[in-house]
Structure 1
Amino acid sequence: MSDFNDQVIADFNANGGKPAGYFEKADVLLLHAEGAKTGIERTQPLMYLKEGDGPCFIFASYAGGPKDPAWFHNLVAKPDVDISIGDGTTMKRVPMQARVLEGTERETTYARMARLFPQFAEYEEKTTRDIIPVIKLSPR
């Protein structure tokens, strides 16, 4: 997965925030979160769901894996993060505040993502976790 993510990050940076290949038609951001134990910044490419010019949502799907991804634990421990986004020409780095959604808010947001990208419905069916966490990122 590391090699795959490294390539997505390289494509993202080379193409003004628009990766190619598998993510060509998806909205992708780079999440910059500090390691909970190490304090080292980690960068993770993630598909996201936009909500106008305001917040956006990311999903700790881990492709339906049995546990939450490491970046999710870092984000819960240190919710002040940055994201990099771009329009294919220019990129910008934006400070954000992360909040894990619960209940109806989480269910509604995940369902929207699953309608747009059916693989997210498959991840939810496949996982043995109780839920796949949904995180709201709001400008800070």
Structure 2
Amino acid sequence: MRGVVQRVSASRGFARVAPYVVPELDRGVHRLTGGRVMLSGLMLPSLVLTARGARSGVARRTPLACLPEGGGAAGWLLVGSNFGRVPHPAWTANLLAHPDAVVTWHGTDVPVTARLLTGAERDTAWRSLVGLWPPYAVYQERVERELRVFRLVRR
């Protein structure tokens, strides 16, 4: 089943529709379950990132797939894939402008600090992320920009 989902997730049609549909479904299920469940979390570890808008400073909640480090005890890796679309997702600009944020992980709010990874550290994280979700490599092939990878550590 996971292989089928990965193939569908890597398709161009999915990339056109998913940015509008998946986050809204995730937010709705997350809200209905009191923060305990996210629809995308059935396939991948997921969290809700609350970061201040880069320009507005207003709190923005974004459901995201993640790679927990140490089961989430050490933090999380996030990739700004935007489903293989050209622009960086807005949440990445928010973290660059305001790295202190909060993640909701299994119903618990956790204060974090985000750091954009570069160089060898990014390469190591990237291999782990692609190991978790191979469509990330397909998304990277579709765009000329380097997908942003962040490490979120607990404060």
**TM-score, normalising length: structure 2:** 0.80
Distance 2:89 2:148 in 1: 10
Q: Which amino acid aligns with 1:122?
A: V
CA RMSD of aligned residues (A): 1.4
| CA distances 1:88-116 after superposition (whole Å, capped 9, x unpaired) | xxx11110000000101101111111122
Aligned residue for 1:94? 110
Task: Give the corresponding residue for 1:51.
Answer: 69
1:17-32 equivalence runs, <5 A:
17-20=36-39, 22-32=40-50
1:108 to 119, 124, 129: 124
One-letter amino acid of the structure 1 residue matched with residue 97 of structure 2: A
Q: Gapped runs of 5+ residues in structure 1?
A: none
Aligned partner of 1:19: which letter? Answer: M
Q: Which residue of 2 aligns with 1:66?
A: 86
Structure 1 outlier segments of 4+, above 2 Å? 1-4, 12-18
Offset, 1:3: 4.5
Is it true that 1:10 corresponds to 2:28 in the alignment?
A: yes
Distance in 2 of aligned mates of 1:82 and 1:45: 12
For structure 2, which runs of at least 5 residues remain unmatched after alignment?
A: 1-18
Match of 2:96 in 1: 76
Higher helix share: 2
Measured against aligned partners, the alpha-carbon deviations of 1:27-69 in whole angstroms (never above 9, x if no partner) come to 0000001012111111111100111111211111111221211
1:37 to 42, 47, 55: 55
Question: Percent of aligned positions with the same letter in both sequences?
Answer: 31
Question: What is the SS of the residue equivalent to 1:17?
Answer: coil
How far, CA to CA, are the matches of 1:24 and 1:108 in structure 2?
Answer: 25
What is the number of equivalent residue pairs in this alignment?
Answer: 134
